[in-house]
Amino acid sequence: MGLFGKKNPKILREIYHGTTRLRVIQNELWREKVGIIVNVTNQTLDHPEGDSKQIIITGSHQLVISCRNWVAQNGLVPVGDIAVTEAGKLKALYVIHISSPVFNTDLDNQEQVIKDLILKCLRKGEELRVNSISFPPFCLDHFGFPIEMVVPTMIDAVQEYLLTHTDNAYSEIRFVSQLKHVRHWFIDEFEKRWPDCIPVSKKELKKKVKKERLSATISGDIAKDIEKKYVRDKTPQRRKPEKKVIGITAGTEIELRETDFEEFKDAQKLGKSDVLINNNNNL
């Protein structure tokens, strides 16, 4: 499928945290139809590569102008801070641009940098009165943050916000990636925290049942019940052949379908049929 071909997002895991639904999504970030798309970029908002570059391409010149105007009015975005612009031709309402720091092994508590950025985005989203937001995995690639630190820290920050803002306006918070290894980090983290998080697709459900069978956490009978309930049986059903009845009309034998048999019998009683039913045929 081409770069701009249509492709629906796939929900891999989801769980309700109070009234807010948290989801792991397989999708391109720039395809997201939400209130806010969070974009990890640099101080100049020039979107050098990856998702950031594709966001600016899809948002078209309206988004480019919005970014240039923001920098012209406010200067460079401080490292570890955010800038908000309109979304141009993206399917979102706004884009929050994060001026990402670069990972430094000599500094302590860099998890707090990730957490602070998440909290700033969530607070800004409520100020803008949106009810959904899509986060990419933060500060990977050339920013150098290790994914094993980023994923749990992002989810920790979201949980912290939801616990301290129980009256928040978010109906949905999404963690979005098209990269398989990144998605699996989010899926594993969800399953550690919420073992009952919902595997939405039937394929994922089959994998979960198989995994549970192998680990003997549920019995085979329970697994079969789950499969019957959620996974359609694809075994072809054989159609029962119709029984045939021999009838006689004008001295000639003819075959009647079983479904016609009662109809001909009724017609005979009323004298409206010249077909004689052979009594030797038993249905």
In 67-115, at which residue ranges do the beta strands (DSSP E only) sit? 82-86, 94-99
C-beta of residue 56 within 8 angstroms of C-beta of residue 64: yes
**Structure token pair of residue 3:** 């770069």
Residue 2 contacts residue 99 (beta carbons within 8 Å): no
Answer positive or negative: Cα dihedral of 8, 152, 133, 112: negative
Model pLDDT, residue 281:
47
Report the pLDDT value the prediction gives residue 251, as an integer from 0 to 100: 52
What is the rounded average pLDDT for all residues in the chain?
78
4 pLDDT band, cuts 50/70/90, is very low
Query: Is residue 242's pLDDT more than 70?
Result: no
The pLDDT confidence band at residue 236, using thresholds 50, 70 and 90, is low
Q: Tell me: the pLDDT tens digits for 47-76?
A: 667 777 888 888 888 998 999 999 999 999
Long-range contacts of residues 27-30, Cβ cutoff 8 Å, at least 24 apart? 27/176, 27/178, 28/54, 28/178, 29/54, 29/55, 29/134, 29/136, 29/176, 29/177, 29/178, 30/54, 30/55, 30/57, 30/58, 30/59, 30/90
Residue 60: its H or E element: helix 50-74
CA–CA dist 178, 1 (Å, integer): 14
The token pair that represents 259 in the structure block = 């479904």
Of 130, 118, 224, nearest to 169 (Cα)? Answer: 130
Gap between the Cα atoms of 196 and 129, Å rounded: 31
The region, left, alpha or beta by phi > 0 then psi within -120 to 50, assigned to residue 170 is beta
Which residue carries 């945290």 as its tokens?
17
Walk me through the domains of the chain, giving residue ranges and CATH numbers: 10-200 (3.40.220.10), 201-234 (no CATH), 244-277 (no CATH)
Helix (H, G, I), strand (E, B) or coil at 73: helix
Decide: 122 and 158 in contact? Cβ < 8 Å.
yes
For residue 283, what pLDDT is reported? 43
Predicted pLDDT at 282: 47
Please enumerate in sequence order all residues whose Cβ is within 8 A of that of 26, keeping only pairs 6 or more positions apart, or say none: 9, 10, 12, 177, 178, 183
Which pLDDT tens digit goes with each residue over 77-131?
998 899 999 999 999 999 999 988 877 766 677 888 889 999 999 999 999 999 9
Using the predicted structure, report yes or no on whether residue 1 has a pLDDT greater than 50.
no
Average pLDDT rounded to a whole number, residues 1-14: 70
- Contact predicate 12/38, CB 8 Å: no
Distance CA 267, CA 283 (A): 18
Q: Is residue 196 very low, low, confident or very high in pLDDT (cuts 50, 70, 90)?
A: confident
Contact, 218 vs 210, CB < 8 A? no
Residue 219 has pLDDT above 60, yes or no: no
Q: What is the DSSP letter of 198?
A: B
